[in-house]
Amino acid sequence: MYDILIVGNGLAGLSAAITCAEAKARVLLVSSNQPERSQSVMAEGGINAALDQKGEDDSPAQHLADTLRAGCDLADAQAVAGLTTAAPEIIRWADRLGTVFSRDEEGRVDQRCFGGQKKKRTAYANAGIGRQLMAALSRQCRKLESEGRIEVREDLRLVSAALGDRGCCGGVFRRVGGGEPEGIAAEGLILCCGGPGGLFGNNTGSLLSDGAAAAALFSQGAAMADLEMIQYHPTTAAGPGKRLLISEAARGEGGRLFTYKEGKPWYFMEEWFPEGGNLMPRDVVSRSIYKVVRELGLGVEGRDEVLLDISFLPKEVLDTRLAEICRNCRTFLGVDPAREPIPVWPGVHYFMGGFYVGADHACSIPRLWAAGECACQYHGANRLGGNSTLGAIYGGRVAAASALGLPPLYGAAEKKALLEREVSRQRELCAAFSGSLRPPALRQRLQELMREGMAIFRSEESLTAALSRLDVLEEEARGLAGGAEAADSLTLTCQLALSRAMLLSALARRESRGAHQRSDFPARDDAGFRAVTVARCGAGGNINVDFRPIGEDPCK
Ligand SMILES: Cc1cc2nc3c(=O)[nH]c(=O)nc-3n(C[C@H](O)[C@H](O)[C@H](O)COP(=O)(O)OP(=O)(O)OC[C@H]3O[C@@H](n4cnc5c(N)ncnc54)[C@H](O)[C@@H]3O)c2cc1C
């Protein structure tokens, strides 16, 4: 029996687990993989904090102002103030745990420019901040495990939560590779299961970020917020089966975007935005590239591509701070950035929306918390590069602190009965599948639909068309396969519901703000829509979307 059950061992999950263990809680950290394989490892560019080490006159207040501005005033200012205030201490903590940050000539943690920020605020580790942070946090976690202060399982996939009338009392899991559902009891469950990239396929993230846990919990009634806010990273390239990220670090070090106009290079970002240039916030850069290609017809050789030039940067910068980017381009694109520009186009990268949480990271269901990319907190309508690794570590801490020391909600027998009930429900739901349609084929069609429906620009027409296509998929899903594929069939039906919630959220927000651009409502409308889009799935599977004030308690 555990006090706290944590699902997901990326930065958010490790941070929550360390916080719980250090507070002497009985904690179980569960994931479907080793930490070395979580998406957090892929973070390249850096982590933000106003360290103000070199007299640059930076402060958490300025970090707060940049974050709120980039998020188009949709984030909860009080929660973001907590994040930016904690940021310098988080860097020092990560440093003490052994994160190998890049250093300046005096040995201080070095910082680089990132988009949408007025100061050099992004601490980095050449082009591999995620690997370094994860190595440090997982080593600390293993140390606590060896001291018997954390229990760890790396072979279990969360399929649902055990819920009673007072709230959550544990999770139901299946072993990776198959097996019957099994329940694990706890006083509270912290979800750190990453973003739902799997609804889109072909994005910059990890295949492990399949959105299955979020979809299952959404279908069980957990409210989701701002699902329409999906970040397209402006500089991604067509890699094998996914979008290869060309980190903002490339532009932070001086990289320039251009295309050809009348036979000559045209540096459109520098012309259109003389102040921010290539380092405008990501939504602005993505829209600009889209405009250059789709509206002005200036894609390179008629393709959906513009070019990113870093070839003129000093060899030392390419070989150290941008080494990973250069290596990836050579390996996966056959492009040598030291000699030629990199072809880029915006790709699905990050989800600002997710579980609807309050400042304490509590979800709409009591005893359920969410942190990291699966939660909607800090980023509003557009995330600043370098803020999500920070948000994951900080959010994991806040969720853990809020989950610690709470009295039992249920007696032991009641908990056992609730877990058994949920395990039986899972078995019954799976038994209902007896068709021949294999989930991967339908999922691929869902992913295509979502990439088109939730593209950079949306309209009532495109969203309604996507919803009609989704109706067809939902009808076909009645014929999904059972037997060994029943669990995946069930996951897919939940993913269909979460996808519907995303499309309905985008339809409901009849304005353009940050990552959400409506061609039929091109203006930002603070009077009507400076509010959080909240999607809920009712008992009969009906999905309802409404708007709630920013910063409201989700349990209200
Ligand atoms: C290519 C790339 C580069 C990036 N660069 C940066 C950067 O430079 N700076 C920055 O701030 N951000 C960056 N980001 C974003 C950032 O890395 C992520 O948002 C952040 O690390 C997410 O951490 P997390 O702990 O929430 O989730 P993750 O690291 O995704 O971890 C989620 C964990 O949950 C597990 N899980 C999922 N479902 C289940 C289930 N059903 N049961 C059990 N376990 C489950 C997963 O296997 C995984 O281990 C980048 C993202 C990408 C894709």
Per-residue pLDDT tens for 125-141? 988 999 999 999 999 99
- Confirm if 15 and 396 have CB atoms less than 8 A apart: yes
Is pLDDT above 90 for 242? no
339 as an active site residue: the answer is no
Asked if residue 556 has pLDDT above 80, the reply is no
Q: In angstroms, what is the span from residue 553 Cα to ligand 1's centroid?
A: 25
Mean pLDDT on 89-113: 95
Q: Residue 430: enclosing H or E segment and its boundaries?
A: helix 412-431
Nearest CA to ligand 1 atom 13: 43
| pLDDT-derived band at 115, boundaries 50, 70, 90 | confident
d(CA 14, CA 332): 30
Query: How many angstroms does the Cα of residue 206 sit away from the middle of ligand 1?
Result: 8
Can you name the residues that pair with 172 across neighbouring β-strands?
160, 183
Query: Would you tell me how many other CB atoms lie within 10 Å of the CB of residue 518?
Result: 21
Q: Please give the backbone phi and psi of residue 113, each rounded to the nearest 5 degrees, phi first.
A: -80, 140
Report whether 465 contacts 423 (CB < 8 A).
no
Q: Dihedral of CA 492/496/499/501: which sign?
A: negative
In what helix (H) or strand (E) does residue 367 lie, and over which residues does it extend? Answer: none
Using the atom order of ligand 1, give the atom closest to the CA of residue 212.
41
Q: CA 412, 417, 423, 425: dihedral to nearest 10 degrees?
A: -150
Mean pLDDT of the chain: 96
What is the CB neighbour count within 10 angstroms for residue 210?
A: 23
Whether 29 has a pLDDT exceeding 90, the answer reads yes
**pTM score of the predicted model:** 0.95
Residue 253 pLDDT: 92
How much distance in Å is there from the Cα of 375 to the middle of ligand 1? Answer: 12
Helices 486-508 and 212-219 cross at an angle (nearest 10°) of 80
Mean predicted confidence (pLDDT) in 196-208: 92
Catalytic pick from 37, 251, 282, 500?
A: 282
Asked if 143 contacts 121 with a C-beta cutoff of 8 angstroms, the reply is: no
Which protein residues are within 6 Å of ligand 1, measured from CB? 7-13, 30-33, 38-40, 42-47, 129-130, 157-158, 192-194, 204-205, 208-209, 212-213, 245, 350, 372-374, 385-389, 392
Distance 13 CA to ligand 1 centre (A): 10
Structure tokens given for 372:
């990291």
Q: Write down the pLDDT at residue 346.
A: 95
